[in-house]
């Protein structure tokens, strides 16, 4: 860990303004950032602790949705009765992630912004375009069993590790932000994450030091909510494949995937094929996949996991 | 005390305290966070500095230059130790690793430098400022690629001979009516203990004291003396509590060497813990094996030929993973062969991990037995029972001291409900889950070694025991206390147990499943001597004196035990040594494992639903501690079966998943209710305690029982561990 300065912000505007300092980063739950600082993967020179700026409420929106403050803890979000009743996919996804202790600390915005768990990203001796742009990708011809099969590039095959974001993708969540100059904006989650291309170190479309203030869930859409996270051990592991599904009585639905791409993977135009079954839907959803030899099984696994979800919830 | 003849009745047989399911006497210290582990012994040192190891960024090659200028100028830096200023370093006598690289690099994350600073953070920051120039060399990292270059290793201190041959294996296998010839692999595995390797080192003149985390104090002193080139007498090691070892802390590793060198260089006590990634690539691990098993049998299921070959790799001079050990003793068969081969690999050193050899050997042998039973159209339990032997199959006439494998299998089968298993794979489904059952035998040697202890009686009738035995979370404190209490006829709370200090009488430490049986026998010997001293002080005949309820009595003469020490503490020290009984008898522990799994029919996720283990391991000194050992081992077996693998990047030459996020071990959600049945027994050929180890037995066979259950659930036979869903998917599509 390198030396850094620290300040505690009192309001979102103050936090955003403080972020104009060079080398500054926001510190929320710290469950990912502090680990990365210890390994010198992240080396901020200034930390702005946003733990006391509020933004920790879940409130109804005028059109019947919910606004989740950026600092609402994962534990509180998963347990909220409104979330459990109307957005079950989100609660289930959250509870499939991390551990109780981590969820107690981890925040909504921090969860969206967590970094990949590609093992090469974590070893500073190894080339990694995400950690050290231009150095190369060790994973492409290395240990890639866990890594992305779609949306990835020759520069990076890292996956986005979040479960929560997969559910939010299926829910068409909208991310609200404030910039250092005080301007606010809304970004639909479908346009929030970038694909790696040749610049895998750029992971979202947030401007530098733009602060997430909340995530808005639109009006509930009903349906059966499913989150199936497939992994080698039963808990406390990242997904090989996860399927977040909202299934409607008419046979239609929305399905987003985790564990397969640099961002939660959803192709809305493919969803009209859901009534035709897992095989047709999955092949459209995964069109253009470019797996490695080690992770090609994920394509079969995606189809099987979707098929299991459809079978169990339609029978 | 020399133990030469099978034990008769002795004070331990009273079983007033021994054999009772007793809570651990140090338990409250651990559950309240007040037990001091190596790195936490701050009260022992003042002005302590912090050490941080920089591991090599390459796996093989040389260091051409280290630019220390920026690191030396960094805040708080006190010293930097490299091969250039460390002086001559030798290797230990058990591990072959060199603990400081330079100019040669032998493996990834080998220590290149140790930075000492006023704070941990400063040491870590300064280590990142060291600029090391490397010249890479081509290394060998892929066992499959070098398998054919593997050589027959020299005979080793532990494990079976490199080759054994009984009868005419090749001929008998060729003509066998039913045959199996399959190859299996087990991956590199990490001990993944919770507490990192850690040391606080303090020099006083030329005397070195280290608070450390190692399992065998005697080896530790021997090896550290050898490595640093100083007399053994100048070294004192203290390891009061150890946060898991599993063989991965047998003796001196890089933390002890680095802390000692750093403390000498800085002129201050230094504390140093290995960073988690270094625990995977810098220390030792269970190495990968490739194993070929051949079994031939008659149509009626009698084995006529059994052969087991195993290939592993290691640093030059490193040991072979002795995976053939169990096959020599487990089943009958007149024609037998085992063979070990060793290749050179430039990965971190392969060495002992819980049940070395036997664990990976049983992972494969017991799948082979399952496959063979199926070929014979026999029940896997019946097939094993049919091939039981009551004599060492390599040396007919040499009996097992005790052997109840059949009883283990039968008891387990009944308790588990084995009769409900459908032999046809894939035939039981509950909802989306395919259900399967699997079985494996268990066998693990029962070594025992000389062990000494000192016991002290004070005038209040309290006993203090001292031995350099360690407690790696196993219950050593408690069983040693129980032994002394039983021998001296007092309650357990009247015994103070002091262990984990090399200045105490020498024990073999914790390892090889020998610790419990050996160290308690040493305490028995010392107490036996103390009883003589007590009797003589009180003018009693030691042969007739009864020690019970805090009193010593003979007929109507009775004294409080403490009366014997009213003129001063009585101290007795003795060591137990052994005659030829372990040659005369095959001394081994046995067991059986039964496992039920559920496999998701769509995703092939594997979840263990039930586990039953039956263990036959002589006298059980403390059934509660023994059960904890076995359920921990069963958990480790589930890890080996389903998830544990250190993945080698064969281009760079290192274990990629070098932390506890990447190297998965079971979590609570993976482990169902575990039932452990401890068969009541004694083995008088072992020691006066009549006990054997159990901590490693509990692991042997577990993974195969899981793999066999997965086969029974799915019809897919996975022969390469870990058994993961992708390997099943590949075979079902």
- The H or E element that residue B66 is part of is strand B61-67
Q: Looking at the annotation, which residues of B are catalytic?
A: 696
Residue of chain A minimizing CA distance to B643: A232
Pair B469, B576: CB distance under 8 Å? no
Please compute the mean of the pLDDT values over residues A122-132 and round it to a whole number. Answer: 97
Would you list the DSSP string of B381-400?
Answer: HHHHHHT--SB-TTSTT-BB
Which of B605, B659, B666, B667 has the highest number of chain A CBs within 10 A, making it the mutation to test binding with A? B605
Q: Is the pLDDT confidence value at B631 over 90?
A: yes
Please compute the mean of the pLDDT values over residues B249-265 and round it to a whole number. Answer: 98
**What is the biggest distance separating any 2 CA atoms in chain A, rounded to whole angstroms?**
58
Q: Which of A40, A234, A297 faces B128 most closely, judged by CB atoms? A: A40
Confidence of residue A181 (pLDDT cuts 50, 70, 90): confident
Question: Which chain B residues touch A142 with a CB distance below 8 Å?
Answer: 649, 651-652, 656
Query: Given CB atoms, is A307 within the 8 Å cutoff of chain B?
Result: yes
Provide the pLDDT for residue B157.
Answer: 87
Q: How far is CA A145 from CA A162, B645, B657, in A?
A: 17, 12, 11
- Residues B120, B122, B125, B131: is their CA dihedral positive or negative? negative
Cα gap B704→B721, rounded to integer Å: 10
**Rounded (to 5) percent helix, strand, coil in chain A:** 30, 20, 50
Cα gap A202→A113, rounded to integer Å: 11
Pair A73, A109: CB distance under 8 Å? no
Question: Which chain A residues touch B121 with a CB distance below 8 Å?
Answer: 1
**Predicted confidence (pLDDT) per residue in B146-168, tens digit:** 999 999 999 998 889 999 999 99
The residue to which tokens 């979707």 are assigned? A306
Residue of chain B minimizing CA distance to A41: B128
Query: Given CB atoms, is B643 within the 8 Å cutoff of chain A?
Result: yes
Q: Of B357, B360, B313, which Cα lies nearest the Cα of B141?
A: B313
Q: Which of A38, A235, A308 faces B602 most closely, judged by CB atoms? A: A308
Query: Given CB atoms, is B102 within the 8 Å cutoff of chain A?
Result: no
Confidence of residue B393 (pLDDT cuts 50, 70, 90): very high
DSSP code of residue B152? P
Q: Give the number of other Cβ atoms within 10 Å of residue B181's Cβ.
A: 12
Query: Given CB atoms, is B76 within the 8 Å cutoff of chain A?
Result: no
Confidence of residue A306 (pLDDT cuts 50, 70, 90): very high
CA angle A45/A49/A50 to nearest 5° reads 135
Query: Is the CB of B670 less than 8 angstroms away from the CB of A235?
Result: yes
Gap from A100 CA to chain B (nearest CA, Å): 13
Confidence of residue A315 (pLDDT cuts 50, 70, 90): low
Query: Given CB atoms, is A311 within the 8 Å cutoff of chain B?
Result: yes
Cα gap B200→B46, rounded to integer Å: 11
Q: Of A272, A208, A301, which Cα lies nearest the Cα of B732?
A: A301
Query: Given CB atoms, is A297 within the 8 Å cutoff of chain B?
Result: yes
Query: Is the CB of B669 less than 8 angstroms away from the CB of A235?
Result: yes
Question: Which chain B residues touch A277 with a CB distance below 8 Å?
Answer: none
Q: Is B478 exposed, middle or buried (0-12, 13-18, 19+ CB in 10 A)?
A: buried
Which structure tokens are listed for A262? 């640099």
**Predicted confidence (pLDDT) per residue in A28-58, tens digit:** 999 999 999 999 999 999 999 999 999 999 9
The residue to which tokens 């980063």 are assigned? A25
**Rounded (to 5) percent helix, strand, coil in chain B:** 30, 25, 45
DSSP code of residue B24? P
Would you list the DSSP string of A175-233?
Answer: EEEE-TTS-EEEEEGGGTBPP-TT-TT--BSPPTTPEEEEEEE-S---SEEEEEEE-SS
* Strand segments (E) across B333-398: 335-344
Q: Is the pLDDT confidence value at B733 over 60?
A: no
Reply yes or no: is the peptide bond before residue B722 cis, omega within 30 of 0: yes
Query: CA B218, B219, B222, B226: dihedral to nearest 10 degrees?
Result: -160
Q: Residues A14-46, buried b or exposed e (16+ Cβ, 10 A)?
A: ebbbbbebeebbbbbbbbbbeebbebebbebee
- Interfacial A residues in 101-120 facing B (CB < 8 Å): 117, 119-120
Listed in sequence order, the residues at least 6 apart from A276 whose beta carbon sits closer than 8 Å to its beta carbon are none
Provide the pLDDT for residue A1.
Answer: 65
Cα gap A91→A225, rounded to integer Å: 10
């Amino acid at each position: 860990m390198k030396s850094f300065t620290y300040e505690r912000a009192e309001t979102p505007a103050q936090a955003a303004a403080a972020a104009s300092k060079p080398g500054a980063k926001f510190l929320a739950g710290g469950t990912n950032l502090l680990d990365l600082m210890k390994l010198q993967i992240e080396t901020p020179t200034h930390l702005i602790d946003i733990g006391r700026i509020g933004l920790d409420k879940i409130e109804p929106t005028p059109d019947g949705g919910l606004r989740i403050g950026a600092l609402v803890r994962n534990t509180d979000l998963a347990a909220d009765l409104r979330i459990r009743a109307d957005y079950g996919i989100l609660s289930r996804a959250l509870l499939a992630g991390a551990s109780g202790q981590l969820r107690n600390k981890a925040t909504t915005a921090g969860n969206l912004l967590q970094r990949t768990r590609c093992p090469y990203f974590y070893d500073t001796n190894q080339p990694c375009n995400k950690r050290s742009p231009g150095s190369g990708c060790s994973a492409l011809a290395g240990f890639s069993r866990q890594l992305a099969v779609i949306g990835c590039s020759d520069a990076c095959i890292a996956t986005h590790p979040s479960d929560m974001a997969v559910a939010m993708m299926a829910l068409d969540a909208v991310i609200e932000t404030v910039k250092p100059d005080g301007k606010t904006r809304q970004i639909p989650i479908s346009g929030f994450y970038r694909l790696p291309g040749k610049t895998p170190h750029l992971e979202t479309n947030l401007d530098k030091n733009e602060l997430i203030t909340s995530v808005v869930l639109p009006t509930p859409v009903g349906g059966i909510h499913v989150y199936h996270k497939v992994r080698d051990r039963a808990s406390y592991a990242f997904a090989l494949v996860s399927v977040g599904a909202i299934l409607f009585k008419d046979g239609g639905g929305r399905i987003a995937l985790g564990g397969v791409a640099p961002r939660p993977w959803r192709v809305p135009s493919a969803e009209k094929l859901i009534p035709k079954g897992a095989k047709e839907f999955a092949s459209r959803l995964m069109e253009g996949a470019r797996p490695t030899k080690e992770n090609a099984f994920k394509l079969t696994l995606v189809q099987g996991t979707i098929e299991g979800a459809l079978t169990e919830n339609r029978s | 005390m020399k133990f030469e003849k099978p034990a008769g009745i002795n004070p331990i047989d009273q079983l007033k305290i021994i054999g009772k399911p007793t809570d651990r006497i140090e338990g409250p210290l651990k559950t309240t966070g007040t037990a001091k582990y190596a790195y936490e012994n701050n009260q022992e040192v003042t002005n302590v500095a912090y050490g941080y190891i920089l591991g090599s960024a390459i796996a093989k090659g040389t260091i051409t230059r280290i630019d220390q200028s920026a690191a030396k100028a960094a805040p708080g830096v006190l010293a930097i130790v490299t091969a250039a200023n460390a002086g001559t370093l030798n290797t230990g006598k058990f591990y072959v690793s060199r603990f400081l690289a330079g100019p040669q690099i032998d493996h990834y994350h080998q220590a290149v430098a140790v930075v000492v600073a006023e704070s941990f953070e400063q040491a870590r920051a300064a280590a990142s400022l060291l600029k090391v120039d490397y010249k890479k060399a081509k290394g060998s990292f892929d066992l499959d690629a070098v398998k054919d270059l593997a050589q027959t290793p020299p005979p080793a201190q532990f494990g079976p001979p490199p080759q054994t041959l009984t009868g005419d294996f090749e001929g008998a296998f060729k003509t066998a009516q039913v045959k199996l010839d399959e190859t299996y692999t087990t991956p590199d595995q990490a001990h993944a203990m919770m507490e990192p390797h850690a040391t606080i080192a303090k020099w006083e003149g030329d005397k070195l004291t280290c608070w450390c985390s190692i399992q065998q104090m005697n080896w530790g002193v021997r090896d550290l003396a050898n490595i640093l080139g100083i007399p053994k007498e100048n070294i004192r090691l203290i390891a009061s509590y150890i946060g898991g070892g599993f063989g991965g802390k047998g003796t001196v590793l890089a933390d002890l060497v680095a802390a000692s060198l750093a403390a000498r260089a800085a002129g201050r006590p230094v504390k140093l813990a290995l960073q988690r990634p270094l625990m995977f690539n810098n220390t030792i691990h269970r190495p990968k094996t490739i194993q070929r098993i051949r079994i031939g049998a008659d149509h009626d299921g009698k084995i006529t030929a059994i052969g087991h070959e195993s290939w592993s790799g290691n640093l030059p001079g490193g040991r072979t993973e002795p995976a053939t050990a169990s096959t020599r003793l487990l089943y009958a068969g007149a024609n037998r062969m085992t063979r070990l081969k060793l290749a050179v690999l430039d990965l971190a050193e392969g060495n002992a991990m819980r049940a070395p050899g036997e664990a990976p050997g049983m992972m494969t042998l017991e799948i082979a037995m399952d496959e063979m039973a199926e070929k014979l159209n026999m029940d896997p339990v019946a097939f094993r029972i049919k091939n039981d032997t009551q004599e060492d199959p390599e040396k007919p006439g040499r009996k097992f001291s005790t052997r109840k494998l059949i009883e283990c299998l039968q008891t387990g089968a009944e308790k588990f409900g084995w009769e409900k298993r459908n032999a046809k794979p894939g035939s039981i489904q509950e909802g989306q889950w395919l259900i399967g059952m699997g079985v494996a035998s268990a066998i693990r040697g029962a070594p025992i070694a000389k062990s000494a202890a000192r016991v002290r009686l004070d005038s209040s009738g309290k006993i203090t025991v001292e031995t350099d035995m360690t407690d790696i979370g196993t219950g050593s404190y408690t069983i040693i206390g129980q032994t002394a209490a039983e021998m001296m006829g007092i309650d357990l709370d009247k015994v103070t147990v002091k262990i984990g200090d090399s200045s105490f009488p020498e024990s073999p430490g914790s390892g090889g499943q020998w610790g419990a049986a050996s160290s308690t026998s040493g305490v028995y010997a010392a107490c036996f001597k103390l009883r003589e001293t007590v009797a003589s002080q009180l003018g009693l005949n030691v042969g007739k004196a009864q020690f019970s309820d805090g009193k010593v009595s003979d007929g109507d003469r009775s004294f409080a035990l403490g009366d014997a020490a009213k003129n001063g503490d009585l101290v007795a020290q003795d060591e137990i040594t052994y005659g030829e009984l372990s040659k005369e008898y095959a001394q081994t522990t046995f067991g059986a494992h039964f496992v039920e799994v559920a496999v998701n029919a769509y995703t092939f996720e594997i979840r263990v639903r039930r586990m039953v283990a039956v263990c036959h391991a002589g006298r059980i000194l403390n059934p509660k501690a023994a059960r904890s050992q076995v359920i921990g081992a069963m958990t480790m077996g589930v890890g080996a079966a389903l998830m544990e693998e250190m993945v080698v990047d064969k281009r760079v030459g290192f274990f990629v998943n070098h932390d506890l996020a990447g190297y998965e071990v079971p979590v609570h959600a993976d482990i169902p209710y575990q039932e452990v049945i401890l068969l009541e027994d004694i083995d008088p050929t072992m020691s006066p305690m009549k006990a054997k180890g159990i901590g490693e037995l509990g692991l042997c066979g577990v993974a195969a029982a899981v793999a066999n259950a997965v086969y029974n659930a799915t019809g897919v036979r996975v022969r390469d561990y870990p058994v993961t869903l992708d390997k099943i998917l590949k075979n079902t599509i």
